[in-house]
């Protein structure tokens, strides 16, 4: 009897799971395994919200597997030790898994493949995290795209991958296999603050359906307004792999085909373009792993970041005196979530107004986001700091006040997350110390810690000097 281990990692679902489907086709029995690796849990980029979201999804996956007559084997330890040990114990012929483009994961997976070769078991990896891998979206001369628009044009020329139909059926485990428990590290408590209706594969599909029903038609208009339910909030599910980007694209294309209005069809295209950005950044990480250590563009390494610790702490704690920045940062810390528009605003503010290195912000985000993803987060930070691929030019600096007025026009989002300002009426809420000094004086809310107009000029000078353009 041929036994194959499916090693679940960031693919916590049964449907459209290429590695799992292949294992189901190739084996008489598939043994589904998840390894709780203490080294990953101890990493600074594996924060409590991400862990809580993941473990809730592992629980759901275990229940889904029970539902098809299988059982998730939970192991605890270093996968490079635990998986080969399990292979021996059950006489497995192979280990299948989805590919992951983070440098540490690539190193680990190469080590697993080497162990397999040495010990006589097959290790096969499959595309999973993306719709198209970087090698599938190449220039005519084989070159790698580093600019989004031509990348996206080329991406769209590919035929969409079919969805995998195979899911593991009956069959399963040798009765002697022991499954460990998820560690009791407080993640159940942490999961209570996450504001998602549910976890796991069924919840991800329900969220996608809700998005298509309620928000997709207006996505192009509403996606920039944090106070509106204008986006899908699928990112933590995509991070944990409870839904695949291919499932999302197929569903959105299907939805688009039924729409009569041009505006709704356009919204579908804008949404798909965001999923393409996601593939783009995964490809950048895969091809240019140095981005985790330094700027994508080497010339930006000379830019100086003279910002102070006091300002960094004020940014982290939502006490900068810029209400839109503070509301966003408080929401992040309280819930593990921040809207895309706000991520851009606070990242620009940290790098261009406070002159603090983007890596400090990148780390802070990873510690707090439930969707913390090395590729998208690094891409977003390097975009905001102007150091990345196809990034915002360094001289195009968001003004926090006009961003606030434009994207939270009624100030509802601000008042929700900065309750000190609840009584500041009208547009004064965007700049309370200036526009409503009396109410502001009583509110206990800080004055702006910097003057944007001045810091903008300082930032331009710092970039110019660093780039030798003076
Ligand atoms: C500084 C910064 C840091 C970020 N860090 C992360 C991160 O750690 N993890 C993460 O998933 N996204 C990150 N993003 C991208 C984006 O903010 C989130 O993907 C988005 O807010 C998720 O909300 P949603 O699912 O409602 O998005 P929707 O608008 O519904 O978009 C659908 C999906 O498209 C993808 N997507 C959307 N925008 C982007 C983008 N700009 N780049 C890459 N993929 C995108 C996401 O997977 C998202 O779930 C970051 C952006 C910035 C500017």
Question: Whose alpha carbon is nearest atom 26 of ligand 1?
Answer: 233
Ligand 1 atom nearest residue 232's Cα: 30
pLDDT of residue 166: 83
Q: Which residue has the tokens 């759901």?
A: 60
CA of 123 to the centre of ligand 1 (A): 32
Overall pTM surpassing 0.95 (yes/no)? yes
Angle of helix 374-384 relative to helix 340-348, nearest 10 degrees, comes to 50
CA of 312 to the centre of ligand 1 (A): 23
Inform me whether the pLDDT recorded for 174 exceeds 70.
Answer: no
pLDDT of residue 177: 72
- List helix spans (H) across 140-261: 148-157, 187-191, 200-210, 219-222, 235-240, 245-257
pLDDT band of residue 181 (cuts 50, 70, 90) is confident
Task: State in words which class domain 298-465 has.
Answer: mainly alpha
Domain 129-161+201-287, CATH number (from 1.10.10.1800, 3.40.309.10, 1.20.1730.10, 1.25.40.80)? 1.25.40.80
Instruction: Supply 114's token pair.
Output: 């080497």
437 versus 391: which is more confidently predicted?
A: 437
- Superfamily name and number for 3-128: HUPs (3.40.50.620)
pLDDT band of residue 171 (cuts 50, 70, 90) is low
Residue to probe by mutation, ligand 1, list 209, 350, 380, most atoms within 8 Å of CB:
380
Tens digits of per-residue pLDDT, 136-160?
999 999 999 999 999 999 999 999 9
pLDDT of residue 172: 62
Give the mean pLDDT of 310-317. Answer: 98
Indicate the domain borders of the chain: 3-128, 129-161+201-287, 298-465
Region of residue 444 (left: phi > 0; alpha: psi -120 to 50; beta: else) = left
Q: H or E stretch including 63?
A: helix 48-67
Inform me whether the pLDDT recorded for 100 exceeds 80.
Answer: yes
Number of H helices, E strands in the chain: 22, 5
Question: Whose alpha carbon is nearest atom 36 of ligand 1?
Answer: 274
Average pLDDT of the residues of the chain: 96
Closest CA to 248 of 227, 220, 284, 276: 276
Catalytic residue positions, numbered: 274, 277, 305, 340, 358, 381
Question: Whose alpha carbon is nearest atom 46 of ligand 1?
Answer: 235
pLDDT of residue 462: 98
Ligand 1 contacts (CB < 6 A) are: 223, 231-235, 238-239, 274-275, 277-278, 281, 339-340, 343-344, 347, 365, 369, 371-373, 376-377, 379-381, 384
Tens digits of per-residue pLDDT, 253-284?
999 999 999 999 999 999 999 999 999 999 99
pLDDT band of residue 169 (cuts 50, 70, 90) is low
Tens digits of per-residue pLDDT, 184-237?
879 999 999 999 999 999 999 999 999 999 999 999 999 999 999 999 999 999
Inform me whether the pLDDT recorded for 285 exceeds 70.
Answer: yes
Inform me whether the pLDDT recorded for 173 exceeds 70.
Answer: no
């Amino acid at each position: 009897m041929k036994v194959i281990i499916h090693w679940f990692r960031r693919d916590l679902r049964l449907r459209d799971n290429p590695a799992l489907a292949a294992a189901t086709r190739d084996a008489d029995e598939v043994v589904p395994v998840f390894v709780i690796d203490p080294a990953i849990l101890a990493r600074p980029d594996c924060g409590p919200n991400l862990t809580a979201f993941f473990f809730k999804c592992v629980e759901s996956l275990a229940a889904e597997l029970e539902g098809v007559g299988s059982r998730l084997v939970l192991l605890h330890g270093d996968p490079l030790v635990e998986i080969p040990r399990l292979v021996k114990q059950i006489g497995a012929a192979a280990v299948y898994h989805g590919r992951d483009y983070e440098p540490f994961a690539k190193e680990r997976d190469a080590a697993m493949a080497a162990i397999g070769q040495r010990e006589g078991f097959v290790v096969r990896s499959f595309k999973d995290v993306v719709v198209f891998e970087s090698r599938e979206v190449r220039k005519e001369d084989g070159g790698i795209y580093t600019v989004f628009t031509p990348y996206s044009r080329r991406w769209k020329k590919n035929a969409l991958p079919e969805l995998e139909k195979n899911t593991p059926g009956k069959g399963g485990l040798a009765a002697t296999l022991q499954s460990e428990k998820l560690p009791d590290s407080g993640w159940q408590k942490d999961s209570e603050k996450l504001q998602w209706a549910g976890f796991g594969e069924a919840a991800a599909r329900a969220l996608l359906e809700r998005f298509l029903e309620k928000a997709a038609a207006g996505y192009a208009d509403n996606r920039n307004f944090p106070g509106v339910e204008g986006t899908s909030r699928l990112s933590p599910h995509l991070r944990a792999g409870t839904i695949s980007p291919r499932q999302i694209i197929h569903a959105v294309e299907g939805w688009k085909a039924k729409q009569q209005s041009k505006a709704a069809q356009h919204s579908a295209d804008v949404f798909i373009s965001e999923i393409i950005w996601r593939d783009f950044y995964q490809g950048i990480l895969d091809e240019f792993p140095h981005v985790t250590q330094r700027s994508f563009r080497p010339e930006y390494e000379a830019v100086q970041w003279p910002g102070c610790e006091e300002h960094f702490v004020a940014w982290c704690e939502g006490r900068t005196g810029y209400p839109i920045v503070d509301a966003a940062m408080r929401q992040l810390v309280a819930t593990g979530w921040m809207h895309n528009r706000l991520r851009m605003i606070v990242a620009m503010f940290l790098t261009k107004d406070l002159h603090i290195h983007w890596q400090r912000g990148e780390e802070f985000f990873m510690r707090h986001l439930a969707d913390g993803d090395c590729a998208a987060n690094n891409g977003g930070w390097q975009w905001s700091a102007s150091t990345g691929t196809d990034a915002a030019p360094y001289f195009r600096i968001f003004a926090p006040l006009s961003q606030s007025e434009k994207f939270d026009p009624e100030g509802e989002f601000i008042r929700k997350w900065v309750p000190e300002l609840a009584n500041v009426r009208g547009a004064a809420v965007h700049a309370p110390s200036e526009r409503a000094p009396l109410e502001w004086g009583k509110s206990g809310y800080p004055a702006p810690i910097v003057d944007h107009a001045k810091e903008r000029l300082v930032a331009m000078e710092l970039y110019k000097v660093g780039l030798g353009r003076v």
